[in-house]
Amino acid sequence: SHYRLSDSTRTGHSSFSPRTHACAELRPKDVGEEVTLCGWVQYRRHDLFVILRDFSGLVQLLIPQDESLVHLKSSLCGLPLESVVKVTGEVIHRPPGQENKAMATGAIEVSVRSLEVLNECKQLPFEIKDCVKKSESLRMQYRYLDLRSPQMQSNLRLRSQLVMKMREYLCNIHGFIDVETPTLFKRTPGGAREFLVPSREPGRFYSLPQSPQQFKQLLMVAGLDRYFQVARCYRDEGSKPDRQPEFTQVDIEMSFVDQMGIQTLVEGLIQHCWPEKMGPVSLPFPSLTYAEAMREYGVDKPDTRFGMKLVDVTEALYGTEVGFLRDAVTHPEGCVQAICVPGGAKHLQNKDLEFIRQTAKTHFNQELSLVVLKADGSWKSPLSKHLPDSVKQQLLQKTHAEAGDLLLLAAGAAERVRPLLGKVRLQCAELLEAQGVAVRDPSAFHFLWVVDFPLFLPREEDPEQLESAHHPFTAPHPDDTHLLYSQPDKVRSQHYDLVLNGSEIGGGSIRIHRASMQQYVLENVLKEDASLLSHLMEALDSGAPPHGGIALGLDRLVAIMVGAPSIRDVIAFPKSFRGHDLMSGAPDFASEAELRPYHISVNLPAEDRGVRGN
């Protein structure tokens, strides 16, 4: 039962290895076999048992108690936890009554006959099993210990398997080519969030791109037909929560395809890579237009695992005398929107309600009216005495609100009121869940397409000017193309977002493939200097096929799948909140000699100069 490491016919997890099995593979069918295992000493019980761990899980070793093997016993009992050993022994049944049903290998144990200590563990900053309870920074500093936890092992393994399945689908089933595109590239005009990389030519810099957008389009112009890449992308955002300076997207582009084609491809991709144990994915994914999503959920990435949709109650309030409501219903663009939080009156505390009210104030500078529907059906609300019963009845009817529910009302312009209620809707779900109310099924995965986005939006700094809602290469919706030249603000795009449980996990579009239209968009609509993209315009004029694609955010997708609170839990070596690698101490100071070849020098802020003496 001992293998040569160079046995080329063996496959599986133990090929090329002295072990015969992975620890967690052993079962009663292996009883009687002599096995060799390699792993870490997880813990020890009463000098009788050692629990051995490897990537696959745990197995119990029986420490021999007979006199002839006393050296073996003393070695095993003297080993510090987390030491690395190779053991050989016989698989035996556990004595009746001593089986551990919670353990995959709990019916057997390995009676140790020989031991080789491969590396003794000398020091640990903390006990491995408590690792997850440690501070985030300690976990990051000793990431190689943190990664020994079953959860992190399983996250990284699932990620690897998921990507492998995606590749099989794209490459083997649908004829895509995996093409690597450069990460040392030219700065995008206005690309404020791109890292710079100094070159050895004075004053010249590469830039780390935020996505392979230009390259994927050029590959279509090149006739590659179907491209994909699991692409490393970069974004310098300082410290936004749960963002990483480098992240991974599954980047896809096809020629001769329309929006439905890309969406169907992606649905098939998700279905193909979805782990069986996580239940089936049913196709096609539901779809909402941007307008519908905003109207019903107040957000363009709705969490459709629960209701509490926005309800327009403007009509019910046409005759109202309440000042702020009347202002809203009489204003041409005003409205009153409501959501009903089922059980909200019953389960939410006063401080929860205050928190919701504060959100409206601080994030949206808006008033939110709360109606607590008491158990007896009576209204607890400042509005109560100002609304006639008939109006109250209408409100209850339209929102399907009942005794014990909470009703939230906001009045004003739709584009202000809806995002407010969209945010509050999510907060209510969280607050209810914190009270133990089941709002969203944690094992449910709700995919959703959001389509028909506007192609352009008013610029924040100058609302008379338009900017691209996504990027300037997005094609207009075929039904709206004629509007591009007359009312560009009315044009819908062929952009689509893929949303999972309320998070955007992908976005893409059909691209403009004619240079004349691209030029018109850049110069006439966006008022940008098209010459900065002259190589792309030339490319479109040299026989560009119709094309489109999508990019899926792999880190986010995997994080949602494994239920991780942060994408840091599905990345082997993530950066901290402030963009630091806490293990190695990156980023770090560079000496003048190291900067010299790049013709740059550091301008330290005044207060730092004394300290660093540069």
Query: 2 vs 514, which CB is nearer to a second copy?
Result: 514
Chain residues 484-523 in contact with a second copy, contact rule CB under 8 A: 513-515
Q: By CB under 8 A, is residue 248 in contact with a second copy? A: yes
Among 2, 13, 27, 361, binds a second copy (CB under 8 A): 13
Query: 167 vs 398, which CB is nearer to a second copy?
Result: 167
CA distance 411 to 324: 7
Among 35, 108, 179, 401, binds a second copy (CB under 8 A): 179
Q: By CB under 8 A, is residue 326 in contact with a second copy? A: no
CA distance 549 to 242: 26
Query: 287 vs 435, which CB is nearer to a second copy?
Result: 287
Q: By CB under 8 A, is residue 5 in contact with a second copy? A: yes
Q: By CB under 8 A, is residue 196 in contact with a second copy? A: yes
Query: 207 vs 394, which CB is nearer to a second copy?
Result: 207
Closest CA to 402 of 450, 342, 445: 342
Among 28, 78, 223, 275, binds a second copy (CB under 8 A): 223
Closest CA to 266 of 254, 280, 248, 279: 254
3-state secondary structure 17-63: CCCCCCHHHCCHHHCCCEEEEEEEEEEEECCCEEEEEECCEEEEEEC
Among 24, 26, 52, 254, binds a second copy (CB under 8 A): 254
| Shortest Cβ 477–a second copy spacing (Å) | 16
Q: By CB under 8 A, is residue 17 in contact with a second copy? A: yes
Binding piece for a second copy, criterion CB under 8 A, among 53-61, 106-114, 417-425, 500-508: 53-61
CB distance 69 to 89 below 8 Å: no
Joined together, the tokens standing for residue 504 give 């955007």
Q: By CB under 8 A, is residue 55 in contact with a second copy? A: yes
H helices of 385-514, in order, are 389-399, 414-434
Binding piece for a second copy, criterion CB under 8 A, among 262-270, 390-398, 442-450, 522-530: 262-270
| Shortest Cβ 134–a second copy spacing (Å) | 14
Q: By CB under 8 A, is residue 608 in contact with a second copy? A: yes
Query: 157 vs 380, which CB is nearer to a second copy?
Result: 157
Question: Rg of the chain's alpha carbons, rounded to an integer?
Answer: 30
Q: By CB under 8 A, is residue 599 in contact with a second copy? A: yes
| Shortest Cβ 383–a second copy spacing (Å) | 48
Among 48, 77, 184, 278, binds a second copy (CB under 8 A): 184
Cis peptide bond prior to 454, omega within 30° of 0: no
Chain residues 136-165 in contact with a second copy, contact rule CB under 8 A: 142-148, 153, 156-157, 159-161, 163-164
Long-range contacts of 600-609 (CB under 8 A, 24+ apart): 600/198
Q: By CB under 8 A, is residue 132 in contact with a second copy? A: no
* Strands of the 547-553 sheet, one edge to the other: 177-178, 226-234, 246-255, 547-553, 503-510, 495-500, 447-451, 287-289
Q: By CB under 8 A, is residue 1 in contact with a second copy? A: no
188 DSSP 8-state letter: P
Burial (0-12, 13-18, 19+ Cβ within 10 Å), 418: buried
| Shortest Cβ 290–a second copy spacing (Å) | 20
Chain residues 549-588 in contact with a second copy, contact rule CB under 8 A: 571-573, 575, 579, 581, 583-588
CB distance 207 to 218 below 8 Å: no
Closest CA to 214 of 468, 535, 570: 535
Neighbouring-strand partners of residue 448: 499
Chain residues 70-109 in contact with a second copy, contact rule CB under 8 A: 82-84, 86
Among 38, 294, 313, 505, binds a second copy (CB under 8 A): 38
Among 326, 457, 546, 577, binds a second copy (CB under 8 A): 546
102 DSSP 8-state letter: T
Distances, alpha carbon 301 to alpha carbons 29, 330, 468, in Å: 50, 30, 18
| Shortest Cβ 235–a second copy spacing (Å) | 11
